[in-house]
Structure 1
Amino acid sequence: MGAAPALEARGLVKEFRGFRATNDVNLQIQEGEIHAIIGPNGAGKTTLFNLLSGFLKPTAGEVTLFGQRIDALAPHEIVRRGLSRSFQISSVFPTLTVRENVVVALQAGTPLPHRFWTPLSRLEGLRDRADEILQAVGLSDFAGRAASELSHGEKRQLEIGISMSQEPRVLLLDEPTSGMGSEGIARVAALVRQVARGRTVVLVEHNMSVVAELADRITVLQYGSVLASGRYDDVRLDPRVIEAYLGDEPGEGGAA
């Protein structure tokens, strides 16, 4: 038998007072791939992300990370197992500097948050590592600036840096290019490809040009169920996908 998928959902169901937000979702994310999840508003994408990352518990089914079940774990425990995520809504601390945002995230993975008195010298290594992360996400020049001063696209870069602070093997990105102009989209798409080196990336994304550029495989959700899954060039030609999401022309991008 081959190695277990990096991330897998089997028979995943989530009900809210009788409404099924996800319905028997089966999903396999292979190690090292960039996998995009698309679908219109209400398709269940964010619910699925919340189930995969532990922010919601499934009504039925299970989630495994490299073959080990994680659906009963708390989100912070899942992070320690090697899965990290970003959110659709900005989640940075606006009054802290860009560097301090990353240092706070780095502290979460050490005993330091549980100690009231911490010598400044103990933080020096975290600052050095924070600067390495900021360089990786293209924000070195903004390290001492308040996070509130960043543009929308720069905040997305910072959020990806924060997600990387725990050295995840699997990184979930929720709408990383949402609300951006063409320049910001190109910059973040390039960053996603860069951070995907040596790790698995799963992204919810509405921009089909970004999906076509980045994704090794895609999964299409409709009404909480998987409509199609496979390589982009195959899925985009599926008549059901063309009709439901991409419009009449296979090459045209639609809302996802």
Structure 2
Amino acid sequence: MIALSARGLYKDFRGFRATNDVSLDVEEGEIHAIIGPNGAGKTTLFNLLSGYLKPTRGEVRLYDELISHLSPEEIVRRGLSRSFQISSVFSSLSVLDNVVVALQSRSGLPAQFWRPERVMRQFEPRALELLEQVHLTGLAGRLAADLSHGEKRQLEIALSLTQEPRVLLLDEPTSGMGSEGVARVIRLVREVARGRTVVLVEHNMSVVAELAHRITVLQYGSVLASGAYEDVRRDPRVIEAYLGEEVA
């Protein structure tokens, strides 16, 4: 079954074409990586898939439902959630309260700054489950501002999981991390991918090699190659796109 698909996606910005006839299929249950040199259109494609940008032409479907005309909030309710390359946590809240607020947003209760504490506490058990899933239980009471870069990435994944997504988009989940943090995120992505579909934009090819079942390579806004990692890494066009070196 195809979980997420794009057909003929074009996105123009005042004469500049950021994506050019991009099509891809992401199968249910797979980890699918989108890679490419800087400026290849990866982030634009992610924004089109998640509704933060509307295509100039083309369409996006989630489990064969047309979603490219929907708002990001409506797309989340359909079962697609995402993280961002730039940290999006509430720095002045605790780790636990970040997740509680995200769970409240899904519950249908209107957001209020002075909601009684007992109302918010009903979300704590599920919030703690999610923090355990991303290995942050021991930091539940810490301010998000005090987390390391890698820990903030883990929290962002927990926030994405509050929406119970069938498809999870991760934008550069290992960006700015050392080897220890990268290894931790690889393990975490494998865990959260159980029972759901994951699409990630990733610049670290060792991460792609570890995680991805299939990859799509973008160059100049177009699909250069797509398929199994072992096949794509030997494609002469992909090797050339990566400065003449074989993709490891």
TM range (shorter): over 0.9
2:32 is matched by which residue type in structure 1? H
**Is the CA contact (8 Å cut-off) linking 1:39 and 1:45 kept in structure 2?**
yes
**Paired residue for 2:155?**
158
Equivalent position SS for 1:9: strand
After superposition, where does 1:1-256 map in structure 2 within 5 Å?
A: 3=1, 5-114=2-111, 118-245=115-242, 247-251=244-248
Distance in 2 between the 1:100 and 1:27 partners? 37
Distance in 2 between the 1:217 and 1:77 partners? 28
Give deviations 1:35-66, integer Å, cap 9, x for gaps: 00000111000000000000000000000000
Equivalent position SS for 2:85: coil
Give deviations 1:87-132, integer Å, cap 9, x for gaps: 0000001010000111111111122225676443332331111000
What runs of 5+ residues in structure 2 fail to find an aligned partner?
Answer: none
Count residues in correspondence: 248
Give deviations 1:182-239, integer Å, cap 9, x for gaps: 0000001110010000000000000000000000000000000000000000000000
Equivalent position SS for 1:11: strand
Distance in 1 between the 2:20 and 2:144 partners? 39
TM-score in terms of structure 1 length: 0.94
Distance in 2 between the 1:108 and 1:248 partners? 46
Equivalent position SS for 1:36: strand
Identity over aligned residues, as a percent? Answer: 73
Distance in 2 between the 1:229 and 1:246 partners? 19
Equivalent position SS for 1:197: coil
Distance in 2 between the 1:41 and 1:143 partners? 36
Distance in 2 between the 1:237 and 1:219 partners? 13
Where in structure 1 do 4 or more consecutive aligned residues deviate above 6 Å?
none
Shift, 1:246, TM fit = 6.3
Distance in 2 between the 1:133 and 1:21 partners? 36
**Is the CA contact (8 Å cut-off) linking 2:9 and 2:55 kept in structure 1?**
yes
Distance in 2 between the 1:116 and 1:97 partners? 15
Distance in 2 between the 1:160 and 1:192 partners? 9
Distance in 2 between the 1:239 and 1:44 partners? 20
TM-score in terms of structure 2 length: 0.97
Distance in 2 between the 1:89 and 1:250 partners? 26
**Is the CA contact (8 Å cut-off) linking 1:112 and 1:118 kept in structure 2?**
no
Distance in 2 between the 1:250 and 1:34 partners? 19
What runs of 5+ residues in structure 1 fail to find an aligned partner?
Answer: 252-256
Distance in 1 between the 2:208 and 2:198 partners? 12
